[in-house]
Structures are given as structure tokens and as C-alpha cells.
Amino acid sequence: LTFLYSLSEVLPGVRSFAFSGELGEVTEYFEHYDIETAIEMSLNDFGKGSTDYGKAFHTFADRCLGALDSRSTVIVLGDSRNNYYSSGAQALQRISDKSRSVIWLNPEPRDRWQVGDALMQEYLPACDYAEVCNSLPDLQRVVSRVLKSTRR
């Protein structure tokens, strides 16, 4: 969420969403509150329950697919652990088809992307870029890449 907050400060038109059991837009939180308050509000409103990526991707597609175009970059931050729910990979593919790119930042090492309830292998075909991101240097590298891609 800190990453999203920071992106919204340097890029125009950033919309931010958070989810666990339910997906919701938190853009207004980031626009109107300091970072600590915005993150706390996001977690209180959308950070409860078991992670369900499939439900989140379907909800996002239902609400936002019409707003995506060839200039849109969708960034997913998460470990892909779906608690054995349906993956929603087809919804992520629809999102990818409408966007310029889908970037997935996963905090887990690559060797954990296929273990247990992790579904990265199902999501990778819809991603233009998927990378381990669990440190400040990782985040700086990814932000640099995102900023360069928006200037093309």
C-alpha cells in the first residue's frame, strides 16, 4: 500500500484498490489522507477475510474493464495465495487484454510461487512482467521500470 501511495504522488490518473475477502477502491483515501491514515483505512475496509484473488479479479473486471485502454498499466501486489478458491485467471486475462500491461509484484521467492495454494503459474500468462518484490531495492527497481514504461 505504501508503494501505491507513492505511485499516486508521482503519476497522474493512478487508481488504487485493496482486497482480501472483498475488493474496493481506495484511491480517495490516498488522495485525501496522509499515508498512515490511508493505509489504516484501506486495511480496515478491505483487509479482512481470506484472500480470494479470483473474486477480486472478477470484481475488478466488472467495475473497471471499461476504463482500461492501451495506456493502462495494472499492477498486482501480492503472493498469489488464494486459499484454494477459484483462480479467476480468465478475469485477469480479460484485464490484460484491455491494458497496456499487467505487472505482478510478488513478495515471495520464485520457488514458492507453485507451493500450496499459490497460483502464480495460472496468472503468469496474463502478466507482461512478474517479479519478486520484497525489499526497498526491489521496489526502487520496479518503480523505475514503471516510470520508464509510462514515458513511452
150 pLDDT band, cuts 50/70/90, is: low
Give backbone dihedrals phi and psi of 23, rounded to 5 degrees, phi first.
Answer: -100, 140
Q: Which three cell numbers stand for residue 118?
A: 499459490
Give per-residue pLDDT as tens, 79-105.
Answer: 999 999 999 999 999 999 999 999 999
Query: 77 to each of 19, 53, 65, how far by Cα in Å?
Result: 10, 11, 19
What's residue 1's pLDDT? Answer: 66
CA torsion, ordered 151, 92, 7, 143, to nearest 10 deg = -60
Give per-residue pLDDT as tens, 3-35.
Answer: 777 777 767 788 989 999 889 999 999 889 998
pTM: predicted TM-score of the whole model, two decimal places: 0.88
Give per-residue pLDDT as tens, 29-79.
Answer: 988 999 899 999 999 999 888 999 999 999 999 999 999 999 998 999 999
Q: What is the mean pLDDT of residues 121-138?
A: 92
Cβ neighbors of 36 (< 8 A, separation 6 or more) are: none
What's residue 48's pLDDT? Answer: 87
Length of the chain in terms of residues written: 152
